[in-house]
Amino acid sequence: MARKRRLIQNGINPARFARGQIKFYAFLIPLCAVMSLPIVFFFINAFKPMEELFAYPPRFFVNRPTLDNFIRLFSISSSTTIPASRYLFNSVLSTVLVVAASLCMSVSAGYVLSKKRFRLRSALMEVNNLALMFVAIAVMIPRYFIIAYTGLQNNFFANVVPLLAMPVGLFLVKQFIDQIPDTLVEAAVIDGAGDFRILSSVVMPLVKPALATVSILSFQLSWNNAEASALYINNETLKTFAFYMQNLGAGGTSFLQGASGGNSTAGAGVAAAAMLVMFLPNLILFIVLQSQVMNTMTHSGIK
C-alpha cells in the first residue's frame, strides 16, 4: 500500500485527472470512435427512407429519418396468419429458458468436476474440452437425429434443448471454481452445509464474472438461433424471431414480398429495422454485464 501511495504521489497513477493523461485520451478517444462506427451505422441504417438506403454514392448519415421501416415491420403480420409478436414471444421465452438452464448446468457441472473426487472425472472434462473443437455445422446431422429420436420435432422445446450443451461455458466456470480454495468448501461442510447450499451460498457469489459471461454467450446463441425453426419445426406458431428476420433478409420470400407489395428490393428497409431489433438486446445485455465480463478476462488465467 505504501508503494502504491508513493506511485500516486509521484504522478505515475494519479488519483485525479492530470495533464499526463492527455496522451492516453488522444489515442483512446479516436480509437473508440472508429470502433463504434459499425454500431452507429447499424442504428442509422434502420431509420433511413428507401431512397437513402439505395443512394449512390452511399451515405453514412441519414438526412430524413423515418419510423416507416419499423411500422412496416410489425404491420406485415396483418396480412398473414402469424403475427410478428408471436415470433418475438417465442424468442424471448426460449432465450430465458436457455440462459437459466445453461447457467444452472454450467455451474453445477463445474462444481462437481472441480471439487468432487470420482473416477473418470478427468476423462469427462477432456470430453468437454474435445467438444470445443467442433463447430455447429459439424454436428448438425447428429443433432438432427437426436431431435428426431427423442420426439422433439415440431415441439417448442426443439428451440431450447439443442442449445443447453455449452462446452465453453462449462470450461470457463470450472476454471473459476478451481480458483476457490478447497479449505473454504471444507469449512462449509464442517458447518453442516450440503452441496446445494455450498453451490448457492459459496461458489456462485465467487464466480459471478464467469456466470455473467456465460449468460451473454448463451443469450446470443439462443436469441440469434434460427436453425431449430428451419430444421426441426414446421409449425409457424413455434418458430422464433430470428427465423422471421432471416426470411425478411432473404429476397423473394413471402414475408418480404408482403412488406413491399412483391418488390423484395423495397423490403430492405424492413430488413434493416428487423436487424436492429435483433441487435439491441445483445448490446443492452453486454452494456449491463460488461464489468463482469472484463473481470472474467482479467482473472481467467490466475491460479
In one-letter notation, the amino acid at residue 262 is: G
Round to whole Å and give the CA distance between 150 and 178: 35
Q: Return the CATH fold of 79-299.
A: MetI-like fold (1.10.3720)
Do 128 and 114 contact (CB within 8 A), yes or no? no
Q: Extract the residue ranges of the chain whose pLDDT is less than 70.
A: 1-15, 17-18, 76-80, 248-267, 291-303
pLDDT at 93: 93
Do 87 and 243 contact (CB within 8 A), yes or no? yes
pLDDT at 169: 87
Question: What crossing angle do the helices spanning 167-178 and 268-299 adopt, rounded to 10°?
Answer: 20
Closest listed residue to residue 109, CA positions, set 172, 160, 192, 157: 172
Domain boundaries, the chain: 19-66, 79-299
CA 236 to chain centre: 24
pLDDT at 100: 93
Residues in the chain: 303
Phi, psi torsion values for 49, nearest 5 degrees? -70, 170
Do 150 and 142 contact (CB within 8 A), yes or no? no
Do 220 and 242 contact (CB within 8 A), yes or no? no
In one-letter notation, the amino acid at residue 241 is: F
pLDDT at 29: 87
Question: Alpha carbon of 182 to those of 5, 62, 177, 188, 198: distances in Å?
Answer: 34, 58, 10, 10, 12
CA 205 to chain centre: 21
Round to whole Å and give the CA distance between 250 and 259: 12
Q: Which residues contact 173 (CB under 8 A, 6 or more apart)?
A: 106, 107, 109, 110, 207, 210, 211, 214
Gyration radius of the chain over CA positions: 24
Q: How many beta carbons lie within 10 A of that of residue 225, not counting itself?
A: 22
Round to whole Å and give the CA distance between 177 and 199: 10
